[in-house]
Chain A
């Protein structure tokens, strides 16, 4: 469990990758987006100040999902017409990467589900049904979102996206799916809604006036 240590190519600050699966991180001092190659760190971009948001989760928040502990490693922030939401990159204690999405205090955990046939962004519409992993999902919302920023460590490269289309699907058994059209190849994530209390989160953000 060695933790790779390097120096930020931009400002020289010490960078530590806490999770071996991380590919990208953000320098906390100069806000440079750094990508890990075989030999060194490369700066690929810059993060503007993240807009203030209301998520009670922060980096290094810890929790439990299905009896496995996890820690929050990083996040991607999105904004859309109705507001914003976070996709927190969490790392399970067995090293697997997952995503804890947090939108208006509704929480869901999902895992990437690769190698599926996915419809193109232009071919999908609300009410349509898709089947993955032996479950039927119905499209509930199609959102045009803007990427607003990143923070912490991510398992892939992700920055400066222009408009991003997200398609939310729900099953009748509480499972949900997301189609992410940020890249050329759409990505599928399957997961389920979770209750805040069930995650047993620790090291949460403090809000003024709330204990």
Chain B
């Protein structure tokens, strides 16, 4: 830069915030957007004024409904969004009507003299941070129309006609109460693509879902933000893990589980340590029915003992009082097992109940010399029953794998269910609800 530049005779003045008076009621009007305002609305008398006219010509006047709520973020408030300070300079209430019900939402116009304009929209406690699109989305028609914007596919959510019901502040375009525009929303949570068609112009804007706490923090608003109601169109799903990841993790764990099971089956010794056949004559003369088996050895580490009882019962039962006794330590496991089997025919066909064998697992039996004390009982009405007892050492318990699979499955099921019901709630407000409530 040279030193030869002649000094400017009158350096340009800093652009000033303009203070004017409403031609209708005289109230003070402040223009905060440095020449960019096209329309400004008087807060006192709700006259819509031409901001580019030095006399502030009155374009429209509207009656505000009694008890109209003041904007949650008052005009003139400054806040920091995405690292930039913005000032709230305009506010609108707009609504759509669906099935005779009016749904209102609010739009805030934010301004920064260097960065331009930004918008905040608020509906039932849900906030969105919106800017005008620079690129044009690519539209695709079909069963569910979509729009491709910056590499993301947005699904059509809703097309509706929006009416402006209330306006205050200043805007860089024409606003009138009662004006209508067709608004089409496409969603790709957490973003929403909105197409607004009105008065010969089409504008695309993209919004990002913003949690109320962030708005409160950005604008230093007092108190706590109101709790959002329902699920909003582009509200991100609360689960921090995608369903796909959850199911993949489940699959991975199941593979490990199956591997563990196979390994277990291979490595468990399943060693038969005792086998014998017995007869029981129920009508036998009174005597001591209990007896003890020969001693057998349980080897290896502390593990389980499987005792399988098989009996050729038919419409009968046999009950065995077992005691597995350690010959040396005197420790015993005491339990009773029943083997019963019934069958017959009735109006529905043939049926069976029970089983001709029973298996029990005695837990954590230390190695050593053991014997069984057996006291059998049977249905006195039935003839002699033969039964066998087979003892195996260190068998895999497959039941545990079943429970483990359930334990792995339940969280994934829960997360899936929550996600489905969340998405159902999201789409229930759209033009494409997931479940038609009229059917069945």
Direct contact of A and B (CB under 8 A): yes
Q: Which residues in window 34-60 of A have CB below 8 A to B?
A: 51-54, 56, 58, 60
- Whether B2 sits at the interface, judged by CB under 8 Å, is yes
- Whether A104 sits at the interface, judged by CB under 8 Å, is yes
CB distance from A64 to the nearest CB of B (A): 16
Per the bound structure, the CA–CA distance linking A82 and B136 in Å amounts to 21
Q: Are B134 and A193 in contact (CB under 8 A)?
A: yes
- Whether B258 sits at the interface, judged by CB under 8 Å, is no
The segment from A89-97, A112-120, A202-210 that touches chain B is: A202-210
Q: Are A28 and B15 in contact (CB under 8 A)?
A: no
- Whether B116 sits at the interface, judged by CB under 8 Å, is yes
Cβ–Cβ < 8 Å partners of B138 in chain A:
172
Chain A 108-145 interface 0/1 with B at a Cβ cutoff of 8 Å (1 = within):
00000000000000000000000000000010100000
- Whether B102 sits at the interface, judged by CB under 8 Å, is no
Per the bound structure, the CA–CA distance linking A56 and B113 in Å amounts to 7
Per the bound structure, the CA–CA distance linking A71 and B10 in Å amounts to 21
Chain B 1-20 interface 0/1 with A at a Cβ cutoff of 8 Å (1 = within):
11011101100101111000
Per the bound structure, the CA–CA distance linking A170 and B280 in Å amounts to 96
Per the bound structure, the CA–CA distance linking A207 and B115 in Å amounts to 13
Which residue on A lies nearest to B200, using beta carbons?
A: A126
Per the bound structure, the CA–CA distance linking A206 and B1 in Å amounts to 21
Q: Are A196 and B115 in contact (CB under 8 A)?
A: yes
Cβ–Cβ < 8 Å partners of A140 in chain B:
136
Q: Are A208 and B16 in contact (CB under 8 A)?
A: yes
Per the bound structure, the CA–CA distance linking A206 and B14 in Å amounts to 6
- Whether A163 sits at the interface, judged by CB under 8 Å, is no
* Contact A58 B112, CB 8 Å, known A52-B35, A83-B172: no
* Contact A18 B2, CB 8 Å, known A56-B113, A174-B134, A208-B15: yes
Q: Are B136 and A104 in contact (CB under 8 A)?
A: no
* Contact A54 B34, CB 8 Å, known A28-B8, A83-B172, A106-B134: yes
Q: Are B38 and A82 in contact (CB under 8 A)?
A: yes
Cβ–Cβ < 8 Å partners of A193 in chain B:
134
Specify which of A16, A54, A138 is in contact with B36 (CB 8 Å cutoff): A54
CB distance from A106 to the nearest CB of B (A): 7
Cβ–Cβ < 8 Å partners of A83 in chain B:
36, 38, 52, 172
Per the bound structure, the CA–CA distance linking A5 and B2 in Å amounts to 12
Per the bound structure, the CA–CA distance linking A15 and B2 in Å amounts to 13
Q: Are A29 and B34 in contact (CB under 8 A)?
A: no
Q: Are A170 and B6 in contact (CB under 8 A)?
A: no
Which residue on B lies nearest to A170, using beta carbons?
A: B136
CB distance from B399 to the nearest CB of A (A): 60
Q: Are A13 and B35 in contact (CB under 8 A)?
A: no
- Whether B47 sits at the interface, judged by CB under 8 Å, is no
Per the bound structure, the CA–CA distance linking A140 and B38 in Å amounts to 22
Per the bound structure, the CA–CA distance linking A83 and B33 in Å amounts to 13
Which residue on A lies nearest to B34, using beta carbons?
A: A54
Count of interface residues, chain B, beta-carbon cutoff 8 Å = 32
Q: Are A54 and B35 in contact (CB under 8 A)?
A: yes
Cβ–Cβ < 8 Å partners of A5 in chain B:
4
Q: Are B117 and A18 in contact (CB under 8 A)?
A: no
Q: Are A174 and B135 in contact (CB under 8 A)?
A: yes
- Whether B423 sits at the interface, judged by CB under 8 Å, is no
- Whether B114 sits at the interface, judged by CB under 8 Å, is yes
Cβ–Cβ < 8 Å partners of A210 in chain B:
85, 112-114
Per the bound structure, the CA–CA distance linking A207 and B15 in Å amounts to 5
Chain B 291-321 interface 0/1 with A at a Cβ cutoff of 8 Å (1 = within):
0000000000000000000000000000000
Cβ–Cβ < 8 Å partners of B136 in chain A:
138, 140, 170, 172
* Contact A16 B115, CB 8 Å, known A83-B36, A106-B134, A208-B14: no
Q: Are B9 and A29 in contact (CB under 8 A)?
A: yes
- Whether B398 sits at the interface, judged by CB under 8 Å, is no
Cβ–Cβ < 8 Å partners of B15 in chain A:
52, 54, 205, 207-208
- Whether A160 sits at the interface, judged by CB under 8 Å, is no
- Whether B403 sits at the interface, judged by CB under 8 Å, is no
Cβ–Cβ < 8 Å partners of A53 in chain B:
35
Q: Which residues in window 157-203 of A have CB below 8 A to B?
A: 170, 172-174, 193, 196
- Whether B278 sits at the interface, judged by CB under 8 Å, is no
Per the bound structure, the CA–CA distance linking A83 and B135 in Å amounts to 22
- Whether B351 sits at the interface, judged by CB under 8 Å, is no
* Contact A28 B6, CB 8 Å, known A52-B35, A54-B113, A106-B116: yes
Q: Are A105 and B16 in contact (CB under 8 A)?
A: no
30 A-B pairs with CB atoms under 8 Å apart are A3-B2, A3-B4, A14-B4, A15-B6, A16-B2, A16-B4, A16-B6, A28-B8, A29-B6, A54-B35, A58-B12, A60-B1, A83-B52, A83-B172, A84-B35, A104-B36, A105-B36, A105-B112, A105-B117, A106-B132, A106-B134, A140-B136, A174-B135, A196-B115, A205-B12, A207-B14, A207-B113, A208-B14, A210-B112, A210-B113
Closest 3 CB pairs of A and B: A105-B116, A54-B34, A54-B35
Using A54-B35, A209-B17, A210-B85 as known contacts, list a sample of 14 further A-B pairs with CB atoms less than 8 Å apart, ordered by residue number in A: A14-B6, A16-B5, A18-B1, A28-B6, A28-B8, A52-B34, A54-B15, A54-B33, A104-B116, A104-B172, A105-B36, A105-B115, A170-B136, A205-B12
List chain A positions with a Cβ less than 8 A from chain B.
Answer: 3, 5, 13-16, 18, 28-29, 51-54, 56, 58, 60, 82-84, 104-106, 138, 140, 170, 172-174, 193, 196, 204-210
